Structure 1
Amino acid sequence: MSALDPTTTRHRTTTGSESVHPKDELAYGIAAHDIDPIAEQKLRRKLDMRILPIVTICYLFLFLDRGNVGNARSAGLVEDLGLHTYDFNIGTSLFYVCYLLFEIPFALLIKRVGFMLVPFSIIAFGLVTTFSAFMHNRTGFFLTRVILGISEAVTMPGISYLLTRYYRRHELTSRVGCFMLVAAACGGGFGGLLAAGLLRVGRIGSRRGWNNIFLVEGIITVGWGILMIWLFPTDPENSKMLNEEERALAIRRMYVDQPSIGTTKEKATKKLVKRGVFSVTTIACSWICIVDNLSVQGLGIFLPSILRVNYPEASTIRIQLLVVPVYAVAGVVSLICTIGCVRYRIHWPFCLFGGVLTIIGYSIWITTDSTFTKARYAACFLNLTGGLINGPVVIGWAAANSSPDTIRAMVGAVTTGIGGIGSIAGVWAYVATDAHTGYHKGNSFNLAMAASLVVCCLTLLGWQVRENRVREKGGRDYRLEREREEVEVLGSLHPRFKLIH
């Protein structure tokens, strides 16, 4: 009979000798420095080449199909469907409510049944987008937004969880940044160009104008989703894109990165689910995500309408084209910041930088009038850049401090799901009745929330620094005085788990 000595993570037999099972060496971190850095670099490069392009394009279609309603609105959707004053805001809110409600359940379902749900999700929201081209009244508008919210709720948590299975904690933020920012920048920029082109086309069959935007983008999305049934990555433990040595290294990386885990996929329990939602880091990152979505999602849908206020004499096509450089600049700057997170293994300065940019941008809108056209257009660059920086940074910050696997599977869904509250608020920050003021109320609300982001960022930093010091001094070692099964699921609560701030 043997007992676990938590201070050495070895088994002591009744004769006093020590024995270590091969799996225990891996699981308990004894072989943490045995990874060949050259082999790891080669594997990481292969993962970047095989996984990142796929998930980036998947998220691009999600972003495109979610935001094209803003382009359609500026092209006459509200008038053609006979929407009332607040109907557009109500329909957009319904999308985010459904998205918020289904994200966490879908995340746990993906952990249980696998990543194949993601391609089917893409096909589903592609079909919804396609059928949106045939809406003819407000009921159809509300219904398609509800179904779109449910069908899209699989993709983001699925991609986030996939990346946590393949990448180590300090590698995550730049990869999250890559797929989110490249997709968002290309989706916003390309979406504007595509919308402008489709509006010039005239009729496609019986469809015309804004209907063409939904029709073409939806059909392309469905085609990509069908292709993903064969190409979308599976779990590293049974991935066919890796050979035996690469698969073993990928699995070892998961063990090394999380102290004392006994398996790479433990059984999901209510206790772990609760920890995934209510940890200090998750709560703080969720609030930052709420504030970030308030700005990004609001701009993602209403940027053409905001630019219409700034350039009232501009044509619809010119408004679409003015959107493009805003997304391009914001995407490049934000991607540089996420690379900085990985290079320096730190998140808070970049999060703080994004918050400050947002504060400056909204301050310009509030303190100027319609004669300051160039200043207000420049403010759009600052607002979107600040928002796009914090999207991947905060998700990476949360994911880098999440363990074991159940919490890792949930963290993307929890932060973005709860962050959906900000998306709903962002929809109501810009209402038609406030357009004549330059959306003064919406910009003031965003300014106040951006200030709270800065406070939350600094508070989380202070807590994590303090918690790391407590762990270094042995203040959390009492957690090892438990049964082995409990120690194996400590994850981010483990005394040797250093929080990355």
Structure 2
Amino acid sequence: MTDSVERKSPIVDTPADSDTEVSGGDAPINEKRLLRKLDYHLLPAVGVLYLLSFLDRSNVGNARIEGMLDDLHMTGNQYLTGLTLYFVAYVLFEYRISLFFSAASLAGAFGGVLAYGIGRMSGIVWQHGWRWIFILEGILTVIVAIAAYWFIHNYPDTAKFLTPDERRHIHQRLAADSDATNDEKFTWSAVSDALKDVDCWLYGLGFHTMSLPLYTLSLFLPRLHRRQSPTPDRAPYAFAFLTTIAAAVLSERTGQRALFIGGAALFGAVGYAILLSNTAPRERPGVSYAGTFFAAGGIYPAVALVLSWPAINVSGQTKRAVANALQISVGNLGAVLGTQLYRAADGPRFIVGHSVALAYLLANVLVVSLLWWRLRRENRRRDNVAAAAPVAEGFSDWKGDADPRWRFEY
């Protein structure tokens, strides 16, 4: 997976890290300054929304160690059954996810600290403080969601912080890099194209093999670390935030997707191998703690990159929307399965849970390797048919990613 990928050529061929000025109408546009301006206005806002989204999904693990099971008189595997029912509903109702996944690892770190502080509210109304975790974090999400109506910008035309020349320039970049500006009508044939495309299912399987270790880690980590220090699970998540950012930057600069996804999955697999090798986790908790750094540091960047893959490679707005929905739906079925793996009777080694997570990470390497081979082969076949071309407005004969002028990133 080391071959360089043929990237789709933009109309305005000026690197994002340069200070080159290009004509955008009445005034020249400094691309570096413009892209930083977009990052400043868009990334923090969407990152906060995703942080809260993942926080709400993972705080049940923190609520458990704050006395939830005792107060609800849960016995045996009733807790796992509740998780399963939640994730079934979650899979049914979720549609799309953005790439801003580094915020998910921050949610793990932030959630542990926040839950610990909220958990100290024991005795206020209720004996244990776990209810306040759901109440206060839920209220925060609702408030931010309402406020998002005013601080989330949907499109260049509605972004008030952009000048008319900057809007025109962004439209040029969007037209060159994707079909986002094309006027495409919904058709059922495009839906069918996505469902019949093997690669779309492989994108889903790529996320499926990562969602199980992703969610089981967030639910298992608080139980593993609760006796070590008040908020010991924050450090692996902080490390995962750094590895996610590093992998995303390197993947974008090198044009490599499968290499970094598979490499991150192998890095996470090392963590589960360490967890399984520790035959006495109570006596040697430090060994297991080290394993969670590898697990978190590999899982989060792999998930971030695999989620972005169909958004980059699937052309045709309807087909891409279906491919993204398919990826999320198929992928999150792994989370449903994962909720039943860490049973109370399996502790403290949790051989079944760790083994399945390890197997899934290795399976992910196989899936992304297959995708790499398929996309690379298709690009080489197309090289003999037509030259690569940007997705520009005005291509009346554009056939989406089936067009021989389209090139995939692998």
- TM-score normalised over the length of structure 2: 0.86
State percent identity of aligned pairs.
31
Check the 8 A contact 2:62/2:112 in 1, yes or no.
Answer: yes
Partner residue, 1:323? 233
Question: Which residue does 1:448 correspond to in 2?
Answer: 359
Where do residues 272-351 of structure 1 align in structure 2 (5 Å cutoff)?
A: 272-308=190-226, 314=227, 318=229, 320-351=230-261
Q: CA deviation at 1:491?
A: 1.5
Aligned residues, how many? Answer: 383
Structure 1 counterpart of 2:266, from 335, 351, 356: 356
Q: Which residue among 313, 323, 332 is the counterpart of 1:420?
A: 332
Q: Secondary structure at the match of 1:449?
A: helix
Q: Is the 8 A contact 2:267 2:298 kept in 1?
A: yes
CA displacement at 1:385 relative to structure 2 = 1.3
Contact 1:362 1:447 in 2 (8 A): yes
Q: CA RMSD in A?
A: 2.5
Q: Which runs of 5+ in 1 are unaligned?
A: 1-28, 105-156, 161-175, 309-313, 478-483
CA distance in 2: counterparts of 1:425 and 1:409, whole angstroms: 25
Distance 1:251 1:207 in 2: 56
Greater radius of gyration (CA) = 1
Matches within 5 A, 1:148-297: 157=96, 160=98, 176=99, 179-181=100-102, 183-205=103-125, 208-258=128-178, 264-297=182-215
Q: How does 1:87-98 map to 2 (within 5 A)?
A: 87-98=78-89
- Tell me if the contact between 2:171 and 2:181 (Cα under 8 Å) persists in the aligned partners: no
After superposition, the Cα gap between the structure-2 partners of 1:498 and 1:226, relative to the gap in structure 1 and judged at 3 Å, is: same
Instruction: Provide Cα deviations, 1:405-443, integer angstroms capped at 9, x if missing partner.
Output: 22333444332222101111111121222124x110111
Letter in 2 for 1:422: G
Q: Contact conserved, 1:365 with 1:376, CA < 8 A, in 2?
A: yes
Q: Conserved in 2, the CA contact under 8 Å of 1:281 and 1:401?
A: no
Q: What is the CA–CA distance in structure 2 between the aligned matches of 1:239 and 1:264, rounded to whole Å?
A: 19
Please say if 1:406 is aligned against 2:318. yes
Question: Residues 494 and 237 of structure 1: is their aligned pair in 2 closer, same or farther, counting only changes over 3 Å?
Answer: farther
Say if 2:52 is the partner of 1:61: yes
Mapped partners of 1:226, 1:238: distance in 2? 18
Residues 203, 209 of structure 1: 8 Å contact kept = yes
Moved more, 31-40 or 223-232: 31-40
Measured after TM superposition, the shift of residue 297 of structure 1 is 0.6
**Structure 2 CA distance for aligned equivalents of residues 407 and 47 of structure 1:** 27
| Alignment partner of 1:495 is 2:404 | yes
Distance of 1:379 and 1:102 partners within structure 2: 33
Structure 2 Cα separation of the partners of residues 323 and 498 of structure 1: 41
TM-score scaled by length of structure 1? 0.71
- Conserved in 2, the CA contact under 8 Å of 1:291 and 1:449? yes
Alpha-carbon distance in 2 for matches of 1:53, 1:102: 25
- Structure ranking higher in helix proportion: 1
State the one-letter code of the partner of 1:280: V
Runs of at least 5 residues in structure 2 that lack an aligned partner in the other structure: 1-7, 15-21, 24-28, 389-394
